[in-house]
């Protein structure tokens, strides 16, 4: 008797075993469209969780190195899968088809040095992209998260934050750094080459506070860990802290001046390029090739120091550990600055920015590119995004990625809505 062989009679284990020999891109872009059964398997979360474990068996996952078990990593990912990270492994394998890309050109006479994604309303239905420019302005572009990105490939970023009180754009020099606090979604702070720290109310897009003359040189880094606490780093080699609640006013020249400084946190031997904060602790990276850990309760007392082969150009603190950009290398370290591992990226010039979470690593560089990498050991590059000039900053928030460049553009990548396959008749 002739047997009728059909896919519907094959057990799932046989199909999954066959899939294990194929590239992820081929599965997602090819086989998932072959039939409904393949589509359901390939687009299920459990399949990618299983494939992930099988593919990286014997390879150290960074989470396990810092004392987080694989089960805990999976549990955290399951909690975050609802929107913060998304199923990034699956999306990254076909980045161009799973993410919508929009190039936003700032109406700026100078390059963009920083970018930040904020969600000013509690409901999270709006996404606001802010970019700091060398023409002294902070440009804005707003998109409703409930809508798709515009169908055209580019948009213009013409709106910018203004100051009615000072009759200016707020800054009088290059806007070099931006930061926001998750617990204060309507507030954005900025630091610039005019030595000034500006605090903005995004609800009315107005300057609510300006802190001047506290640093003697350009503000190069800013951190906003709590709704009332802002930290800054500067070319004057200092790290300082400010409480934006403590208004002490006096009249000088008919205008109100504000003094909110809590004090000096610490000093490096050269310019302090970047900052990160973790509760009471502050991490600062400098041109003197060191990363320093400070306790805000004990000003000017170094808790720990790490020395590197080149300047520390950016710091990201997330998921319980840090990633540090030095040269074209990313170093992963614990909160106490003990090393975890190092990754020589494929960039051919100095890194300008770094971001990580448990699912991915994103880097920006002076080689005019940003790269997305896996968080496995060894790492691998999943996607390279090119710009016409230096990539100056990257920021990832709520599933969206923003990249700023000296070419006056912001490259915005947002996940597409998942589409379901129509049921067969």
What sign has the CA pseudo-torsion 242, 243, 246, 249? positive
User: 361 and 375 in contact (C-beta within 8 Å)?
Assistant: yes
Structure token digits, residue 417: 């809505």
For residue 95, is pLDDT > 80? Answer: no
Q: How far is CA 154 from CA 137, 141, 249, 355, in A?
A: 20, 12, 45, 25
Average pLDDT over residues 175-195: 92
The answer to whether residue 32 is domain-embedded is no
Query: How many Å apart are CA 43 and CA 12, to the nearest integer?
Result: 14
Domain membership of residue 191 as a residue range: 95-244+254-415
pLDDT reading at 159 higher than 90? no
pLDDT at 149: 44
What would the mean pLDDT of 18-38 be, rounded to a whole number? 75
Cα 236 → chain centroid: 26
Mean pLDDT calculated for residue range 399-418: 86
Number of domains in the chain: 1
Residue 72, in any domain of the structure: no
Contacts of 414 (CB under 8 A, 6+ apart): 99, 100, 102, 127, 143, 149, 399, 400, 401
Strand 154-157 relative to strand 99-106, pairing: parallel
Are the C-beta atoms of 377 and 59 separated by less than 8 Å? yes
pLDDT tens digits along 222-281: 999 998 899 999 999 999 898 887 554 444 444 444 457 778 899 999 999 999 998 789
What is the model's pLDDT at position 330? 98
Q: What percent of the chain has pLDDT over 90?
A: 40
Residue 22 falls within a domain, yes or no?
A: no
> In this structure, are strands 290-295 and 302-307 parallel, antiparallel, or unpaired?
antiparallel
The reported pLDDT for the residue numbered 97 is 65
Query: Span 46-54, mean pLDDT?
Result: 69
Residue 77 lies in a domain: no
pLDDT score at 84: 34
With tokens 């000096």, the residue in question is: 264
DSSP β-bridge partners for residue 201: 187, 206
The pLDDT value given to residue 43: 74
Measured in residues, the chain has a length of: 425
Structural domain contains residue 183: yes
Give the pLDDT mean for 101-107. 80
Does residue 193 sit within a domain? yes
User: Which CATH number does the domain housing residue 331 bear?
Assistant: 2.130.10.10
Those residues with Cβ within 8 angstroms of residue 220's Cβ, 6 or more apart along the chain or in another chain: 176, 177, 191, 233, 234, 235, 271, 272, 273, 274
pLDDT beyond 50 at 35: yes
Instruction: Give the pLDDT band (50/70/90) at residue 167.
Output: low
- Residue 395 included in any domain: yes
Angle, CA of 72, 75 and 80, to the nearest 5°: 125
Give the mean pLDDT of the chain: 79
Q: What residues are paired with 204 via a beta bridge?
A: none
Which of 69-78, 142-151, 211-220 holds the top average pLDDT?
211-220
pLDDT at residue 78 greater than cutoff 50: no
Q: Name which residue leads in pLDDT, 248 or 301.
A: 301
Looking at residue 146, its pLDDT comes to 40
Q: Which of 10-19, 58-67, 198-207, 291-300 has the highest mean pLDDT?
A: 291-300
Q: Is residue 21 situated within a structural domain? A: no
- Segment 394-398 shows an average pLDDT of 91
Amino acid 319: pLDDT: 83
Q: Answer with the residue of higher pLDDT: 74 or 152.
A: 74
pTM of the model: 0.76
């Amino acid at each position: 008797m002739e047997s009728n062989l059909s896919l519907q009679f094959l057990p799932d284990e046989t199909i999954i075993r066959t899939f294990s020999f194929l590239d992820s891109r081929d599965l997602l872009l090819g086989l998932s469209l072959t039939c409904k059964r393949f589509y359901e398997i390939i687009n299920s979360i459990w399949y990618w969780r299983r494939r992930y474990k099988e593919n990286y068996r014997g390879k150290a996952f960074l989470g396990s190195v810092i004392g987080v078990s694989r089960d805990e990593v999976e549990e955290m990912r399951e909690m975050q899968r609802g929107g913060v990270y998304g199923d990034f492994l699956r999306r990254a394998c076909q980045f161009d088809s799973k993410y919508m890309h929009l190039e936003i050109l700032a109406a700026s006479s100078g390059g963009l040095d920083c970018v930040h994604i904020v969600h000013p309303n509690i409901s999270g239905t709006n996404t606001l992209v802010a970019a700091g420019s060398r023409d002294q302005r902070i440009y804005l572009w707003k998109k409703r998260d409930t809508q798709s990105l515009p169908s055209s490939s580019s948009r213009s970023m013409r709106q910018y934050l203004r100051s009615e009180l000072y009759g200016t754009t707020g800054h009088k020099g290059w806007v070099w750094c931006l930061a926001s606090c998750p617990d204060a979604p309507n507030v954005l702070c900025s630091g610039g080459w005019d030595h000034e720290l500006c605090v903005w109310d995004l609800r009315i897009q107005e300057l609510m506070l300006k802190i001047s003359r506290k640093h003697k040189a350009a503000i190069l880094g800013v951190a906003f860990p709590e709704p009332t606490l802002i930290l800054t780093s500067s070319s004057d080699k200092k790290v300082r802290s400010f409480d934006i609640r403590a208004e002490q006013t006096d009249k000088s020249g008919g205008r109100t001046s504000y003094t909110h400084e809590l004090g000096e946190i610490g000093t490096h031997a050269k310019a302090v390029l970047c900052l990160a904060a973790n509760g009471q602790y502050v991490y600062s990276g400098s041109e003197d090739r060191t990363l320093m850990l400070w306790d805000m309760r004990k000003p000017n007392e170094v808790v720990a120091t790490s020395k590197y082969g080149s300047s520390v150009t950016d710091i990201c603190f997330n998921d319980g550990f840090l990633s540090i950009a030095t040269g074209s290398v990313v170093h992963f370290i614990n909160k106490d600055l003990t090393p975890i591992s190092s990754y020589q990226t494929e960039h051919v010039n100095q890194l300008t920015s770094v971001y990580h979470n448990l699912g991915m690593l994103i880097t920006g560089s002076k080689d005019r590119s940003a790269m997305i990498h896996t968080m496995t050991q060894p790492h691998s590059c999943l996607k390279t995004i090119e710009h016409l000039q230096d990539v100056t900053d990257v920021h990832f928030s709520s599933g969206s990625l923003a990249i700023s460049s000296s070419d006056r553009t912001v490259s915005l990548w947002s996940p597409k809505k998942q589409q379901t396959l129509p049921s067969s008749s």
